[in-house]
Copies of this chain bind each other. A is one copy, B any other.
Amino acid sequence: MTDSPFVPSRRTLLGGSLAAVAAAGLDSLSRTALAQAAGTAPAAPAAKPLPAFAAWKDHSVMIVHGANALETRRGALGSSIITPADRLYVRNNLPAPDAAILADRDAWMVQVEGVKHPRALSVKELKGMGLDTVAMVLQCSGNGRGMFPSKPSGSPWQVGAAGCVLWSGVPVRAVAEALGGPLAGLKYMTGTGGEKLPEGIDPRTLVVERSVPLEAMGDALLAWEMNGAPISLAHGGPLRLIVPGYTGVNNIKYIKRLAFTAEQSEAAIQQHGYRMTAPGQKSAATDPSVWEMGVKSWINSPLPDHGTLAAGPCVVQGVAFGGLHAVKRVEVSVDDGKTWQEARLVGPDLGRYAWRQFALPVKLPAGSHTLLSRAEDSKGNRQPEMRVENAHGYGNTSWRDHGVKVMVA
């Protein structure tokens, strides 16, 4: 089992083309899993440099789980709301396409279907159709998986498979309207990634193709810019589908097809992947899909890796977000949950899909302290104390799991 949580069939695993895919850049966890499934011993773990397509990241703040799985260190998420590109996590389900696709960004084509007048559009055409910018939390479905005692397979993310970024592009609804609007009765918006698939196997077993409910179209973008620069290959350039409030996998990189559909995609990643499956069970299309994010917060400072802290004034700070809904408030406990104080939300409000920074000045006496945070969104949804146990370690929003223990001298 891999971080792309569909389970390849035995036949697929043993196909020669899959070895080529693995060699081309599946992350080391995937390679290990594949080797185990194929009955061969995994290679000894190598040192973990940044993969070539993300070599421009700040290595000093990244945890390299594998060639397609990079996490931001908890202490490096900063307090300025936006996560800079060179600190943002990376998760690809397949090796990225060749960088040559960025040579002429405006020439990239996306086929739009399920509308009255379906056709292919270039990025250049899209740029003439409208412009909007959205700030949103981009978060891997499995962020927080590393806190599950059940140790589900997949990258053991702590908090850093998440960031808050700005995307600019054309609203999907403007594109749909320009093509006559979605056909009646369609229920999903389905995006297909432009990754190269190995020959000779059913594309549905590997293609990165995800469906989200049609209402997610409302604030969705076809984006060509992230944080003020053309989108890098690592983050899905030249064109990415942005679905604010939905987990990372639903934000299709290198999008080559956008379809309004009656049914969800037949791809394995949709049918069996990214489902909230009971512990010990195999995923099925009847399990709930991992779509919207839940309300969540965590503390980024102080942290145990700051060493023993000096007694005295200290600002407890972190991030909080509500998925589809704005964060309304955040409470902090410095006594392992016995008492709670409301923190202040700091800095500009970038809209309901962005995270807020929170801060609470405290004085910590000498000793050991467990610091906790819990958020509530504008609809009254509260971050839960306990995680929802599930087979693949998705959706961990537990405030208990996200606590930190610090020592004060």
- The answer to whether B129 touches A313 (Cβ under 8 A) is yes
- The answer to whether B228 touches A166 (Cβ under 8 A) is no
CA separation between A72 and B120, bound complex, in Å?
Answer: 34
Q: Does A85 lie at the interface of the complex (its beta carbon under 8 Å from any beta carbon of B)?
A: yes
- The answer to whether A315 touches B127 (Cβ under 8 A) is yes
Cβ–Cβ < 8 Å partners of A58 in chain B: 229
- The answer to whether A80 touches B315 (Cβ under 8 A) is no
Q: Does A350 lie at the interface of the complex (its beta carbon under 8 Å from any beta carbon of B)?
A: yes
- The answer to whether B133 touches A229 (Cβ under 8 A) is no
- The answer to whether A227 touches B84 (Cβ under 8 A) is yes
Given that A313-B129, A359-B131, A361-B130 are known contacts, is A228 also in contact with B80, CB under 8 Å in the complex?
yes
> What interface size band does chain A fall in?
35 or more
- The answer to whether A228 touches B133 (Cβ under 8 A) is no
Q: Which residues of chain A (168-185) have a CB below 8 Å from chain B?
A: 168
CB distance from A334 to the nearest CB of B (A): 14
Cβ–Cβ < 8 Å partners of A77 in chain B: 228
Q: Does A234 lie at the interface of the complex (its beta carbon under 8 Å from any beta carbon of B)?
A: no
Q: Does A17 lie at the interface of the complex (its beta carbon under 8 Å from any beta carbon of B)?
A: no
- The answer to whether A168 touches B132 (Cβ under 8 A) is no
Listed by A's residue number, 16 A-B pairs whose Cβ atoms lie within 8 Å are: A76-B229, A77-B228, A78-B225, A79-B168, A80-B166, A80-B167, A80-B226, A80-B227, A81-B166, A81-B228, A82-B227, A87-B228, A133-B346, A135-B348, A166-B347, A348-B350
